[in-house]
Chains A and B, each alone.
Chain A
Amino acid sequence: MIPRAKLKSQKLEAAEALLAARALPGGGAWITRAREAAHARVMDMGLPVKRDEYWRYTDPRRLTDAEPQGAALLDPQDESPVFDGFDRVKLVFVDGVLNEAESDPLALEGVEICTLAQAAATDLHWARDLYGTLEARGQKPVERSLASLNTAYATEGVLIRVTGRPAKPLSLIYHRSGEAGEAMVHHVIRVEPGAEATVLENGPMAARFNQVMEVDVAQGGTLHHIRAQGRDHERAGVAHLFAQLGEGANLKSFTLTANGALIRNEAVIWLDGARGSAHIAGATVGDGAFHHDDTVFINHAAPQCESRQVFKKVLRHGAVGVFQGKILVDQVAQLTDGYQISQSLLLDEDAQFLAKPELEIYADDVKCSHGSTSGEIDPNQLFYLRARGLREDQAKLLLVLAFLAEALEEIADPALAEDLRERMESWLKRRV
């Protein structure tokens, strides 16, 4: 065990090394306050280092190195983008910067959209009470200082206020133009009472990226969040989702991930109002030099809420899958229904699955369960399919898809779910 004082000083050194040559971006009064506070948090907490318990299974150094590593670009003709053909409002970011020329007009009935840069220049904005606030709340019980780093230094992002029920999804599309580079994007989404919207995300953001999405869903509101990460083999990134849910509010967040040298997806959800519901799911196809980490924290802070975490990972050729999930049930959160499953299918001997599924419960009238399994394809199932005339590769593909399907079920829109399922199948069929 490394002495605690030494660990702390390593974290502080990491923060100082990264921030030495950086200056906080300018802006209006409210955002300057938020950025300064976030900067102070980073300097107080330091940045994650290898011996951090919270980073036990993922080495954070590629995310914190003062100089980001480059990552080779994929041929854009390699495959068609995800969600192609869906009617949606596109917001295109190139190298982490919103490109208005490539984007659709920021107009959609039932939604107010503006960019972080626009809002930062104003003195007053609705996002003022949310920007950096949820991220700061998410620093307990464990430090997530990379998110504070983002709050302090991000200059790009969109602020979305959902007031009605927009007819089509908002689609955040990321492109990158070069092998070097780093992006920090910070989105804020507020769903007003009774409103409902779908937000899509896809595309390679940057060789190294750090993303924060802060979500506030008011009473009876609903947000669908569907994200596709990949294929982008060499990138390293961390994406944070902080969401607080009011009474009867719903959040469904699904992430499909393929490849990438290092991806850490953190989700921090607070069920603050009675009868809220949060479903966080992910399907991962990892091949080769791939390290994928899902870290989820769900806090039941009000009675009668429901939460589901469904994470499925298929790993081969040395890919590493990590799942850290925690359900915290406060004393007031009676009649909680919490469910968590994390499963991995290891397709060859080099793959690894590392999991830490936790429950922390302070209320007595609750139903909470978690399960975690890891193993190879069941030879009996394989035999059954082979006996019915399928080739081994066909049979395996079928079984792998069936395994991943449970996570896809968490997507409400069947057309979007089918789009991702097809994508998953095409990824599984090809080798890197």
Chain B
Amino acid sequence: MAALDETQLREGVDRETVETVQSMAGTYKHGWETEIEMEFAPKGLNEDIVRLISEKNNEPEWLLEWRLAAYRRWLTMESPDWAMLDIPMIDYQEQYYYAKPKSMVEKPKSLDEVDPKLLETYAKLGIPLKEQAILAGVEGAGEERKVAVDAVFDSVSVGTTFKKELAAAGVIFCSISEAVQDHPELVKKYLGTVVPQNDNYFAALNSAVFSDGSFVYIPKGVRCPMELSTYFRINAENTGQFERTLIVAEKGSYVSYLEGCTAPKRDENQLHAAVVEIVVLEDAEVKYSTVQNWFPGDENGKGGIYNFVTKRADCREDRAKCMWTQVETGSAITWKYPSCILRGDDSQGEFYSIAIANNWQQADTGTKMVHLGRNTRSRIVSKGISAGHAQNTYRGLVSMHPKAKDSRNYTQCDSLLIGDQCGAHTVPYIEVRNASSRVEHEATTSKVDDDQLFYCRQRGMDEEEAVALVVNGFCKEVLQELPMEFAMEAQALVAISLEGSVG
């Protein structure tokens, strides 16, 4: 726990953090649901459902065929069992694969026409679907920063802000269903090129039934004028969400993209299987940050989201760069490995992760860094925290191919255990196939240091506050990589996720 020496801890005594934590009551504050009339596709999964989803989205023939090919492939595949997860049998016929608010059947022309209930939902979540606002929680944080938001509600995108301003810069930011209509050539060119349909069981499922998600295209040489953000909300019961996001960064471009997710508290588990593909071309840079706060289930492990996610960035050309930052606090089960294929020479991949599992949550998450080009570099910093009865696993791959000469990887994964009923595990794969590359991997596991807790308690903090502070210190290396809007939320989340874990 190098990040926790005393000096840093003293600096870390941050009033603001403690106050934010205090102001957020309850253990899962996004657990309410929106009562709204929905239109569902029939329950279950078969070729007709795939056709129906495609038809609802008014998709071209090639995309329908693409979906059907994925579906047929999925039927022949097995659910993966290698993760350290106890996944109950999922009945794929007991789910709805498409749910859309009735008011969205006729697509609103602008945000002003969107059902106020939907707008209210996002307002309540602190996500402004108004163009002058900034994300909640950062008022007074210096200059106003603009964030464009695409809000996805169950299977459809509700609306996207700042479209005009972005269009002026040449940036395309819209839902993927709109992109299929408006920019079919781009979607066709890139869809499935990073994560093929048959990549894995959940990616195949997603390819067959994906509903909405975001599409981002940053043209050559453009630095995206504001941060882009997508906010996913599962609302309807027994409904899976299958988001599909595609980001293309042309030569020399830059974008920072944020993703957030929440869902209501329910006794039944719900399925979320997403695919995110990122294409990074020469000299381009993409930052992708996630705060994953799906409903984690209650303190007895009832309910919660099953989160099976395939995220991958393809640094296709020289000097491309991708950085993943994730804060994983939600979901009953997390199965997620945001990866970088470092194909271009001198390309770079980074992965910063905090995974927190409390109560009966299970998380198996990490990254893959596949070095194919010369002089490629990657850095992995993963912090796993387990409390309650939770199991938390870091699983990662660093692969240096024979041609990836002079490449470099540094991996650090630390685990922290709070209580003796939980587990923390590390499963790294390290494959070095050339001599000039250097790979270093370090991992530690420890418990919250009693001396540090004592120090905090002595200064008048109660035990939970003290643990939250120590843990925030432990996570600092990752938190500081998050865009500011998220850093605040993430710090607060760290504290909330751990509530009730002390003692």
Query: Residues on A close to B: CB < 8 A?
Result: 1, 3-4, 53, 57, 331, 334, 344, 346-376
Contacts and interface: CB of A to CB of B under 8 A. Distances in A.
A363 B420 contact: yes
8 contacts: A349-B405, A349-B436, A357-B443, A358-B427, A362-B423, A364-B447, A372-B428, A373-B441
A354 B431 contact: yes
A356 B82 CA distance: 14
Q: Which 10 A-B pairs have the closest CB atoms?
A: A346-B435, A375-B438, A364-B417, A374-B432, A355-B430, A359-B426, A372-B441, A368-B445, A369-B444, A353-B432
Contacts of B405: 349
A128 to B, nearest CB: 37
B420 A356 contact: no
Contacts of A57: 431
B431 A371 contact: no
A322 B440 CA distance: 16
Contacts of A371: 440-443
Given A331-B420, A351-B435, A356 B443 contact: no
A354 B434 contact: no
B418 A364 contact: yes
Contacts of B419: 364
A253 to B, nearest CB: 23
A364 B434 CA distance: 38
Given A349-B434, A358-B428, A370-B442, 16 more contacts: A4-B81, A346-B432, A353-B432, A354-B432, A356-B430, A361-B445, A362-B420, A364-B447, A366-B447, A367-B445, A367-B446, A368-B444, A368-B445, A368-B446, A372-B428, A375-B435
Interface of B: 77-78, 80-82, 84, 200, 402, 405, 415, 417-447
Nearest to B431: A354
B425 A359 contact: yes
A368 B424 CA distance: 11
A71 to B, nearest CB: 26
Contacts of B426: 357-360, 370
Nearest to B440: A373
Contacts, number: 123
B425 A361 contact: yes
Nearest to A326: B427
B473 to A, nearest CB: 18
Contacts of A375: 435, 437-439
B275 to A, nearest CB: 17
A256 to B, nearest CB: 22
Nearest to B410: A373
A344 B423 contact: no
B428 A356 contact: yes
A356 to B, nearest CB: 5
Residue from B415, B436, B441 having most chain A Cβ neighbours under 10 A: B441
Given A1-B80, A354-B430, A366-B447, A361 B435 contact: no
A356 B434 CA distance: 17
A348 B433 CA distance: 10
A51 B142 CA distance: 56
Contact of B437 (A362, A369, A374): A374
Contacts of B435: 346-351, 375-376
Contacts of B437: 374-375
Nearest to A347: B435
Given A359-B443, A369-B443, A375-B439, A344 B429 contact: no
Nearest to A371: B442
A363 B422 CA distance: 7
A278 to B, nearest CB: 18
A349 B432 CA distance: 10
A4 B84 CA distance: 17
A138 B437 CA distance: 36
Contacts of A354: 430-432
A362 B415 CA distance: 12
Residue from B84, B421, B436, B445 having most chain A Cβ neighbours under 10 A: B445
A58 to B, nearest CB: 13
Contacts of A331: 420-421
Residue from B78, B432, B433 having most chain A Cβ neighbours under 10 A: B432
Contacts of A373: 438-441
A57 B397 CA distance: 14
B446 A356 contact: no
Given A373-B439, A373-B441, A364 B422 contact: yes
A364 B502 CA distance: 13
Contacts of A344: 432
B78 A4 contact: yes
Contacts of B443: 357, 359, 369-371
B419 to A, nearest CB: 6
A287 B422 CA distance: 44
Contacts of A361: 415, 417, 423-425, 445
Contacts of A359: 415, 424-426, 443, 445
